[in-house]
Amino acid sequence: MTQRQTATTAMTALEKRSISGLSLIFALRMLGLFMILPVFSISAHQYSGSTPMLIGLAIGAYGLTQALLQIPFGMLSDRFGRKQIITLGLLLFAAGSVVAALAESIEMVIIGRLLQGSGAVAAAVMALTADLTRDEQRTKAMASIGISIGMSFSIALATGAALENWIGLSGIFWATALMAILGVAVLHLWVPTPHRRVSHRDIEPVPRQFGKVLRNPQIMRLVFSIMVLHLLLTTSFFALPLALQDSAGLDKSQHVMAYLPILLLAFVAMVPFIIIAEKKRKMKPVFLGAIAVLGIAQLGWAIFPTSLALILFCLWLFFTAFNILEASLPSMMSKLSPLENKGTAMGIYSSAQFIGAFIGGAMGGVLYQQFGLQGIFLASSLLIVVWLLLVLPMQAPRHYSSRIIHLNELAMTDIEQFINRLNAIKGVKETVVVPEEQVAYVKFSPEETDVSELESFAFQS
């Protein structure tokens, strides 16, 4: 391996700085969005006009504007600049937090949450990450951001109850506004400015490909899965705080002591299943098993609503399964998406995640108003049965890796011959060349392909 090839395996100081800053921005946003989850349904009665349905809407409202604006914000960042659009999004997020902090009615909280969600910068942050990192480091960069999101989610649930007891719901919203402003500072004082802004087909959606992705049953099963997963999250966290306080008799000031150890235990329990799924090539059985465990947790909550021990045990089951699915679904999307549609598929996937959060909040409020807590958990169990039936025919994803190869002028003179040469390498399954970007996207089997041959081919192209 040449010195040039060895250098590509290590991140530069600039890349490390970029990834740490952008991961922090993601984490600050997710903290703000999720800190109200464990407390809002039991504390929102302080707002005038509160009803279960409107409380549920307030919990999930951010998901609607996130889903509608995420892809447009990403496209605007191509035209006007990544940092400009991310700054606008963070300021909208801060403004929504201020509106919610000052709210005296539940309707104003809903408006604040919708405004929070309108700061839909996820796609633009991903694109900026791609601008600031080399293609060889793309996977590591996205994994780092994924870890920051998972950690912020856990921290938010563990600290939300404690913060509400200390500074109240309005205090949480003020803290969220401050975190958004801190995100703007990190963006401009820590994150480097890219020298060039390019389209990244493996990261960003291509509008003309939407129809092709929506007609792909394999991809759409996973899109449906992430939507239902986040629907269940918001629905469950409408009901669980009420179940813990009203049915099991655990005061809301003590909820943090329940969430924190269970989150830690769930994270520990998740790890071996992720290893089995990835290393032992058992992704589909682990995926289906995690969905079934979510159903068991929902049934447990429905059948034993007054047992604190069983509620907490089912909460551990829920978080373990949720973490497994949250970690494995993006990996499955990457494996099942054709190379030319990967960025578009991930854009639709992310939007479905937020749509699920919105539907879940609204559904939780309506079901609670009509059928009580048991109705929420039984309806969720039924939905999980439908989910399992829909994903059972899904093909088990093959374990492929992908690389991006930059093309020189010689390769561009005969693209078809270049593709044939790449596809002739043992283990290469798919090659897509994008002439306007002067790159080739290559999907290959890591067990069959000599990666050094692929890398040396890249430097000779």
At 158-179, the pLDDT tens digits run 889 889 989 999 999 999 999 9
Q: Give me the mean pLDDT over the 115-131 stretch.
A: 91
d(CA 116, CA 98): 9
Most confident of 132-136, 225-229, 251-255: 225-229
Contact 238, 361 (CB under 8 A): yes
- Does residue 401 surpass a pLDDT of 80? no
Most confident of 111-115, 245-249, 258-262: 111-115
Q: Give me the mean pLDDT over the 443-448 stretch.
A: 83
Q: Assign residue 8 a region: left if phi > 0, alpha if psi is -120 to 50, beta otherwise? A: alpha
Most confident of 5-9, 140-144, 165-169: 165-169
What the block records as the tokens of 461 is 């192209």
Q: Assign residue 402 a region: left if phi > 0, alpha if psi is -120 to 50, beta otherwise? A: beta
pLDDT of residue 197: 61
d(CA 194, CA 138): 15
pLDDT of residue 355: 97
- Does residue 2 surpass a pLDDT of 60? no
**Nearest CA-CA partner of 319 in 367, 261, 360, 372:** 261
**Nearest CA-CA partner of 342 in 232, 272, 442, 247:** 442
Q: Give me the mean pLDDT over the 243-264 stretch.
A: 88
* Confidence band of 199 (pLDDT split at 50, 70, 90): low
Dihedral over Cα of 396, 400, 406, 411: its sign = negative
pLDDT of residue 460: 54
Q: How far is CA 235 from CA 300, 301, 360, in A?
A: 15, 13, 5
Contact 73, 85 (CB under 8 A): yes
Q: What percent of the chain clears pLDDT 70, i.e. is strictly above it?
A: 94
**Digit-coded pLDDT (tens) for 346-399:** 899 999 999 999 999 999 999 999 999 999 999 999 999 999 999 999 988 777
Residue partners of 59: CB distance under 8 A and separation at least 6: 36, 37, 40, 41, 113, 234, 237, 238, 361, 364, 365
pLDDT of residue 409: 75
pLDDT of residue 4: 43
* Confidence band of 410 (pLDDT split at 50, 70, 90): confident
**Digit-coded pLDDT (tens) for 179-189:** 999 999 999 99
Total Cβ atoms within 10 A of residue 6? 9
pLDDT of residue 239: 96
pLDDT of residue 6: 42
d(CA 242, CA 45): 12
| Domains of the chain in sequence order | 12-204 (1.20.1250.20), 208-399 (1.20.1250.20), 401-460 (3.30.70.100)
DSSP 415-444: HHHHHHHHHTSTTEEEEEEETTTTEEEEEE
* Confidence band of 198 (pLDDT split at 50, 70, 90): low
Strand order in the sheet with 401-406: 401-406, 439-444, 428-434
Largest Cα span, the chain: 73
pLDDT of residue 165: 87
* Pairing status of strand 401-406 against strand 428-434: unpaired
**Nearest CA-CA partner of 85 in 68, 95, 72:** 72
pLDDT of residue 196: 64
**Could you give phi then psi for residue 384, rounded to 5 degrees?**
-65, -35
Q: Residues 322, 328, 329, 332: what is their CA dihedral angle, to the nearest 10 degrees?
A: -160
Higher pLDDT, 101 or 421: 101
pLDDT of residue 104: 97
pLDDT of residue 67: 95
* Confidence band of 5 (pLDDT split at 50, 70, 90): very low
- Does residue 320 surpass a pLDDT of 50? yes
Termini Cα distance of the chain: 16
Q: Give me the mean pLDDT over the 194-214 stretch.
A: 78
